[in-house]
Chain A
Amino acid sequence: MPVAGPVAAGAEAGKGCRRHLLSVAELGADGIEEILRVSDAFVEVGQRAIPKVPALRGRTVVTLFAEQSTRTRLSFETAAKRLSADVLSFSVDTSSAKKGESLRDTVETVAAMGVDAFVVRHPSAGAPAAVARWVDAAVVNAGDGWHEHPTQALLDCYTIREVLAERAGRKLEDAGVECFDGLRVAIVGDVRHSRVARSQVLALGALGAEVTLVAPGSLLPPSLEGWPVAGVSTDLDAVLPLIDVCYLLRLQIERGAGAFLPSVREYSASYGLTAPRAARLAEGALVMHPGPMNRGVEIADDVAALPQSLVLRQVSNGVAVRMAVLFMLLGSTGTGDAPGLARSLGSDGG
Chain B
Amino acid sequence: MAEASGRGRAPDAPGPPTVVIRGGTVVDAGGERVADVVVRAGVVAEVAPGADVPVGATVLDAGGCVVAPGLVDLHTHLRQPGGEDAETVETGARAAALGGFTAVVAMPNTDPPVDSAAVALEVLSLGAGATCQVAVAGAITMGRSGEHLAPMGELAALGVRLFTDDGTGVQDVAVMRRALEYARGLGVTLAQHCEDAALACGGHMHEGEWSSRLGVPGVPAEAEELMVARDIALARLTGARVHFLHLSTARSAALVAAAKAEGLPVTAEVTPHHLALTDAELAGYDPVFKVNPPLRTGADVEALRAACACGTIDAVATDHAPHPPERKDATLEAAPPGMLGLQTALAVVLAALGTAGDGRAPLSPQAVLALMSWQPAHIAGLDRAGGGDQGGPVEPGAPANLCVIDPAATWEVDPARLASRSRNTPWAGRVLTGRARHTVLRGEPVVVDGEAQR
Contacts and interface: CB of A to CB of B under 8 A. Distances in A.
Given A9-B284, A129-B285, A223 B215 contact: no
Interface stretch (B326-334, B358-366, B393-401): B326-334
Nearest to B285: A126
Contacts of A221: 212
A195 interface: yes
Given A9-B284, A145-B215, A126 B331 contact: yes
A222 B212 contact: yes
B211 interface: yes
Contacts of B207: 222
Contacts of B54: none
B218 interface: yes
Contacts of B326: 104
Interface size class of B (residues with CB under 8 A): 20 to 34
Contacts of B283: 4-6
B377 to A, nearest CB: 38
B216 A222 contact: no
A124 interface: yes
Interface in B192-222: 207-209, 211-218, 220
Contacts of B218: 222
Nearest to A192: B212
A151 to B, nearest CB: 16
B214 A100 contact: no
A146 B333 CA distance: 12
Nearest to A193: B215
Nearest to B334: A100
B331 to A, nearest CB: 4
B332 to A, nearest CB: 5
B364 to A, nearest CB: 34
A122 B291 CA distance: 22
Q: Which of B218, B331, B332 has the most C-beta atoms of chain A within 10 angstroms of its own C-beta?
A: B331
Nearest to B325: A104
B284 A104 contact: no
Contacts of A103: 330-331, 334
A133 to B, nearest CB: 8
A175 B211 CA distance: 36
A223 B208 contact: yes
Contacts of A123: 333
B331 A127 contact: yes
A100 B220 CA distance: 24
B280 interface: yes
A50 interface: no
A100 B331 contact: yes
A130 interface: yes
Given A5-B280, A6-B284, A125 B334 contact: no
A81 interface: no
B220 A145 contact: no
Contacts of A6: 283-284
A217 B211 CA distance: 17
A4 B284 CA distance: 10
A62 interface: no
11 contacts: A6-B284, A100-B333, A100-B335, A144-B215, A145-B215, A222-B208, A222-B212, A222-B218, A222-B220, A223-B211, A223-B212
Given A4-B283, A145-B216, 19 more contacts: A1-B213, A5-B283, A98-B334, A100-B334, A100-B335, A101-B334, A103-B331, A104-B329, A122-B331, A123-B333, A124-B334, A125-B333, A126-B216, A127-B331, A146-B217, A198-B215, A223-B211, A225-B208, A226-B209
Interface of A: 1, 4-9, 98-101, 103-104, 122-127, 129-130, 144-148, 195, 198, 221-227
Interface of B: 207-209, 211-218, 220, 280-281, 283-285, 326, 329-335
